[in-house]
């Protein structure tokens, strides 16, 4: 039985290869969230319809392409793939550990390097979440880490640096932060806005206009760029890179409605976009906390990001809108689907709830739903 790892499938996505995905999960799960590739084809038939054989679908499957059979955790896919092989399909693979593994894989891409710093982006390809490592001298800063803290520790070891600073742009609603755990492992300082309401020990960003180490100066943007949550911040590094958290995306803005105060928080988001961000130069590279579409938002260098000038030009919400127009657009979009389990995830990130690894996995399953508006 041939197997494909999520790392191998990720490289097929990034290289825009042609793959046939045979997804044997329930239809509702498939329509909610699937593996996306520009040149991928799909067939979704629930596993329970295939228990007596695959004859009914055999004529809908290609014999001249790689076929990757996908299920939730890997078991059902193996059963179906064996039947396909017996029926004469040659290039059949099962995705190791299924969508569970797809949800958790981080792909490392280099974003930037000069004589002062090197920056990596970690793309959580099945979830649309982005995190970063900024390396300078012998130290590293991690931005918005996911809960897979060993990934950051391994890269720090490979680079021969020590993680000394960790920042979260806000308390995330769609995934569990690794900030606290990474700080515990590395003894790094962990920074978060006090106004986000976390109940554990951290360095409040309100007390730090800047964070400096080696040859890096990180400005906490006016200490507040609210909008998505009341304490959302953006980080401006060496006047060259803007880590925008969930405030500005390559194709949209952060949604301010998760707290149930869309109109109120939209005022903050408007002020952020039209006052604070308006003062930043067009050639600054924006590195967001999420993306919605790899095809639309990954650039030619292989990472998710763009210059602020290009983002402004593309995003009508950032172009000469009055406060009233802006709020109206936000409120119209405010009833879009919320991230599943977001209240539980925020409670865990705040320190009010605990969860084991399996519970965290279940809570996080599904796509990114933290963007308000995407332009294509």
Domains of the chain, by residue range, sit at 2-101, 105-343
Closest residue by Cα to residue 233 from 201, 192, 197: 192
Using 50, 70 and 90 to split pLDDT, how confident is the model at 3? very high
Instruction: Count Cβ atoms below 10 Å from residue 303 Cβ, excluding itself.
Output: 23
- 325 or 223, higher pLDDT: 325
Using 50, 70 and 90 to split pLDDT, how confident is the model at 260? low
Interior CA angle at 125 toward 124 and 130, to 5°?
Answer: 35
Using 50, 70 and 90 to split pLDDT, how confident is the model at 26? very high
d(CA 193, CA 200): 12
- pLDDT (tens digit, 9 = 90+) per residue, 173-199? 889 999 999 999 999 999 998 888 899
Fold of domain 105-343: Metallo-beta-lactamase; Chain A (3.60.15)
| Pairing mode of beta strands 210-213, 216-220 | antiparallel
Which stretch of 38-47, 203-212, 325-334 has the lowest confidence by average pLDDT? 325-334
Instruction: Count Cβ atoms below 10 Å from residue 56 Cβ, excluding itself.
Output: 11
Non-local (6+) Cβ contacts of 28 within 8 A are none
Domain 2-101: top CATH class: alpha beta
Q: What is the pTM of this model?
A: 0.91
* Strands of 371-374's sheet in order across: 248-249, 252-254, 371-374
Is pLDDT above 90 for 253? no
d(CA 15, CA 18): 9
Catalytic residue numbers, as ranges: 71
Among 108-122, 210-224, 229-243, 307-321, top mean pLDDT goes to 108-122
d(CA 94, CA 249): 34
Q: By three-state DSSP, how is residue 148 classified?
A: coil
Closest residue by Cα to residue 288 from 301, 278, 298: 298
Residue 287 CA: distances (Å) to CA of 2, 85, 244, 339: 37, 44, 6, 22
- Distance separating the N- and C-terminal Cα atoms of the chain: 40
pLDDT of residue 292: 83
Beta bridge partners of residue 146, listed in sequence order: 177
Is pLDDT above 60 for 82? yes
Is pLDDT above 90 for 236? yes
Confirm if 247 and 255 have CB atoms less than 8 A apart: no
């Amino acid at each position: 039985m041939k197997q494909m790892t999520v790392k191998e499938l990720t490289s097929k996505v990034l290289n825009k290869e042609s793959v046939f995905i045979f997804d044997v999960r329930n239809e509702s799960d498939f329509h909610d969230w699937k593996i996306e590739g520009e040149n991928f084809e799909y067939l979704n038939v629930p596993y329970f319809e295939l228990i007596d054989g695959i004859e009914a679908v055999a004529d809908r499957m290609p014999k001249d392409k790689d076929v990757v059979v996908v299920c939730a955790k890997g078991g059902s896919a193996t059963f179906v793939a064996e039947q396909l092989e017996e029926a004469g399909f040659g290039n059949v693979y099962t995705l190791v550990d299924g969508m569970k593994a797809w949800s958790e894989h981080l792909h490392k891409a280099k974003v930037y390097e000069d004589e002062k710093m090197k920056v990596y982006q970690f793309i959580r390809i099945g979830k649309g979440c982005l995190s970063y490592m900024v390396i300078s001298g012998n130290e590293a800063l991690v931005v918005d880490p996911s809960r897979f803290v060993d990934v950051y520790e391994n890269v720090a070891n490979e680079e021969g640096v020590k993680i000394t600073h960790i920042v979260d742009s806000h308390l995330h609603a769609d995934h569990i932060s690794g900030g606290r755990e990474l700080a515990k492992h590395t003894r790094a300082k962990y920074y978060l806005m006090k106004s986000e309401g976390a109940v554990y020990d951290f360095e409040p960003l309100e007390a730090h206009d800047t964070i400096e180490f080696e040859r890096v100066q990180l400005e906490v943007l006016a200490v507040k760029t609210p909008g998505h949550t009341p304490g959302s911040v953006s980080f401006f590094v060496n006047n060259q890179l803007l880590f925008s958290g969930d405030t500005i995306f390559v194709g949209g803005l952060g949604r301010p409605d998760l707290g149930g105060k869309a109109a109120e928080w939209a005022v903050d988001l408007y002020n952020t976009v039209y006052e604070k961000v308006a003062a930043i130069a067009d050639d600054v590279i924006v590195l967001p906390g999420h993306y919605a579409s790899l095809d639309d938002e990954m650039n030619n260098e292989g990472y998710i990001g763009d210059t602020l000038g290009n983002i402004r030009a593309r995003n009508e919400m950032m172009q000469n809108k009055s406060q009233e127009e802006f709020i109206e657009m936000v409120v119209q979009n405010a009833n879009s689907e919320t991230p599943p389990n977001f209240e539980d995830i925020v409670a865990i990130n705040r320190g009010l709830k605990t969860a084991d690894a399996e519970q965290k996995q279940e809570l996080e399953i599904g796509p990114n739903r933290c963007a308000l508006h995407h332009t294509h």
